[in-house]
Chains A and B, each alone.
Chain A
Amino acid sequence: GDSVTQTEGPVTLSEGTSLTVNCSYETKQYPTLFWYVQYPGEGPQLLFKVPKANEKGSNRGFEATYNKEATSFHLQKASVQESDSAVYYCALSDNGTGGYKVVFGSGTRLLVSP
């Protein structure tokens, strides 16, 4: 079945440093790819999505490029802030035998210290 594999956390960074969270996926379909972020005490919320290969998504200084050849969708940010501390999920849309659904990676907890 379809799957998403991402950097195992926690990832601990100091404010102002750069972030990369790796995301690789497996699917026989042509998925839409997503990054969601979950802050403490809240449900996940969409950071951005990219429906087409070779396109880039971005929001709040985060960005990722849909690389169909490498089946990757790595999340990057040039300079993290303490407020970026959260759990980040890479996900893909899937049309499996059970119908349409979104498959989430295992989540990567980011901790940013001041």
Chain B
Amino acid sequence: ETAVFQTPNYHVTQVGNEVSFNCKQTLGHDTMYWYKQDSKKLLKIMFSYNNKQLIVNETVPRRFSPQSSDKAHLNLRIKSVEPEDSAVYLCASSSDWGGYAEQFFGPGTRLTVL
């Protein structure tokens, strides 16, 4: 099956803890993204990578760091989570880093910070 896979589906943690989310795509794409979707369904890009190189880094707190081991994987680490980090984190990939191609999204990881 070719798609975008994310783990875990859900994660509940306490303020100050570190969390990591995994994303893998089997579509053969070179470009991958992380988005944050808040409770009002606002969708904001956080990072994008093309062939393991960071190409977009929006203004996000420094406690967020993407990690890419190869072009099929893009993980997200949050060091010392805050309550405002509660959201759904969506991973996506596309065949074109220029933003013109369709983006394929995973199902998301829902983070709840207590």
A interface residues, Cβ below 8 angstroms from B: 32, 36, 38, 41-46, 49, 51, 87, 89, 93-95, 98-104, 106-107, 109
Contact = CB atoms under 8 A, between A and B. Distances in A.
B107 A42 contact: yes
Contacts, number: 65
Contact of A99 (B42, B48, B108): B48
Contacts of B41: 38, 87, 106-107, 109
B42 A107 contact: yes
Interface secondary structure of A, over-half rule = strand
Interface of B: 4, 33, 40-45, 48, 55-58, 90, 92, 97-100, 102-108
A38 to B, nearest CB: 8
A101 B90 contact: no
Contacts of A45: 104-105
Given A89-B43, A107-B41, A107-B42, A32 B100 contact: yes
B42 A43 contact: no
A75 to B, nearest CB: 16
Give the top 8 A-B pairs by smallest Cβ distance, nearest first. A43-B105, A93-B99, A100-B99, A107-B41, A104-B43, A99-B56, A46-B102, A99-B55
A100 B107 contact: no
Which of B4, B44, B56 has the largest count of A CB atoms less than 10 A from its CB? B56
